[in-house]
């Protein structure tokens, strides 16, 4: 089948033509928070053929950060340790409250937009701890912070193991992934090949996403399970080797704790240098705190939404007890979260 791309409208026509030929339900999943925003803000989901279902996966870094990690960092803040992290993370509620609530009670908690800001804060607060989160895209900058002596609590994760779990679990039948362009710019296209499913690595404009959907449908129609790179303007086969070196020099792979999944083997990144690892440096403080009640808020369904087994509208709290102004879970906090996007663009 010839794979041409043109305007938004022509792409939709091509998608419908292929979908009609497939004659069954096709389940695709976008697994990048920026793709979630693009899909929702442009209304792509509502424009697709009835037999093409588009799910949102675990692409929001804030959303997949485990409750245990949030509670431990909040506990450090409450114990007097200065904490800096990216803005959305401050509002995620935990058993001990949120970092924002800790700040309102006098804790030294800072919202930063970059590692440079965190390093500037370190000049005034030498004991500052940076809560690092996200996937291979944000990890290199945290590695730069480590090289500059900043203590880090790492909630960083490797993304492909989660994609693999989604396929192996069988909770949702996934015919193809709209794979994350940001991550691929770092790791390249080769690592995606071990996932035996149709994939298209794509950019973040609405037309990029439509091209990815079209190419995925073509693969499914042709019975193929390949990795295609639509994002050739930035993604190369071997990725960014400078960034990869920064990660391997400063982090070691460990099992990762994910909201919605629990522990995924070899999906976590831990700080190598024990002097800069907040979990080691402050283990005496953490060892004195009872985290047995550290769990997701009662009624929050973020874990299922992250895995694609539930849509935001199916959560009984959505738009009622849980709104962007009063979020009950991280999927409503983050602007990359499925609930936040559904609330802003779909409802």
Write the pLDDT tens digit of every residue in 249-303.
999 999 999 999 999 999 999 999 999 999 999 999 999 988 887 765 567 899 9
Nearest 10 degrees: Cα torsion 131, 136, 139, 143: 150
pLDDT at 5: 44
Please compute the mean of the pLDDT values over residues 215-224 and round it to a whole number.
97
Please compute the mean of the pLDDT values over residues 28-49 and round it to a whole number.
95
Lowest mean pLDDT among 75-84, 195-204, 234-243, 288-297: 288-297
Strands laid side by side in the 83-86 sheet? 109-112, 83-86, 129-134, 151-156
Kindly tell me if the per-residue pLDDT of 3 is higher than 80: no
Please compute the mean of the pLDDT values over residues 228-256 and round it to a whole number.
97
pLDDT at 300: 87
Contact between residue 12 and residue 158 where contact means Cβ atoms under 8 Å apart:
no
Please compute the mean of the pLDDT values over residues 55-84 and round it to a whole number.
96
Q: Which run of H or E residues covers position 169? A: helix 160-169
Across the chain, what does the average pLDDT equal? 94
pLDDT at 139: 98
Buried b (16+ CB within 10 A) or exposed e, 10-37: ebbebbbebbeebeeebebbbbbbbbbb
Q: What are the tokens at 113?
A: 């937009």
pTM of the model: 0.94
Kindly tell me if the per-residue pLDDT of 347 is higher than 90: no
Lowest mean pLDDT among 285-289, 293-297, 314-318, 324-328: 293-297
* pLDDT band per the 50, 70, 90 thresholds, residue 133: very high
Indicate the class that CATH gives domain 1-347: alpha beta
Q: What are the tokens at 102?
A: 């800790």
pLDDT at 296: 54
């Amino acid at each position: 089948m010839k794979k041409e791309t043109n305007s938004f409208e022509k792409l939709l026509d091509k998608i419908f033509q292929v979908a009609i030929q497939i004659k069954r339900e096709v389940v695709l999943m976008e697994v990048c928070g920026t793709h979630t925003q693009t899909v929702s803000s442009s209304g792509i989901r509502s424009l697709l053929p009835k037999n093409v279902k588009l799910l949102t996966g675990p692409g929001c870094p804030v959303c997949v950060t485990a409750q245990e990690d949030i509670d431990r960092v909040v506990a450090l803040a409450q114990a007097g340790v200065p904490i800096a992290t990216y803005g959305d993370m401050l509002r995620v509620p935990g058993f001990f409250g949120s970092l924002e609530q800790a700040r309102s009670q006098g804790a030294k908690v800072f919202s930063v937009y970059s590692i440079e800001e965190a390093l500037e804060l370190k000049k005034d607060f030498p004991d500052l701890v940076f809560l690092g989160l996200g996937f291979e895209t944000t990890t290199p900058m945290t590695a730069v912070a480590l090289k500059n002596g900043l203590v880090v609590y790492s909630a960083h994760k490797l993304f492909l193991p989660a994609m693999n779990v989604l396929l192996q679990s069988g909770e949702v039948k996934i015919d193809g992934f709209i794979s994350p362009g940001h991550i691929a710019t770092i790791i390249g296209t080769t690592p995606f090949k071990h996932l035996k499913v149709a994939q298209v690595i794509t950019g973040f404009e609405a037309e990029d996403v439509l091209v990815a959907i079209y190419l995925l449908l073509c693969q499914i129609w042709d019975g193929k399970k390949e990795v295609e790179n639509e994002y050739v303007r930035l993604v190369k086969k071997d990725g960014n080797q400078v960034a990869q070196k920064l990660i391997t020099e400063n982090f070691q792979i460990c099992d990762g704790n994910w909201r919605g999944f629990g522990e995924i083997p070899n999906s976590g990144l831990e700080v190598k240098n024990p002097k800069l690892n907040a979990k080691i440096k402050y283990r005496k403080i953490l060892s004195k705190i009872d985290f047995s009640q550290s769990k997701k808020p009662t009624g929050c369904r973020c874990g299922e939404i992250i895995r694609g087994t539930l849509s935001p509208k199916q959560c009984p709290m959505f738009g009622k007890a849980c709104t962007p102004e009063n979020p009950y879970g991280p999927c409503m906090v983050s602007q990359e979260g499925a609930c936040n996007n559904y609330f802003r663009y779909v409802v």
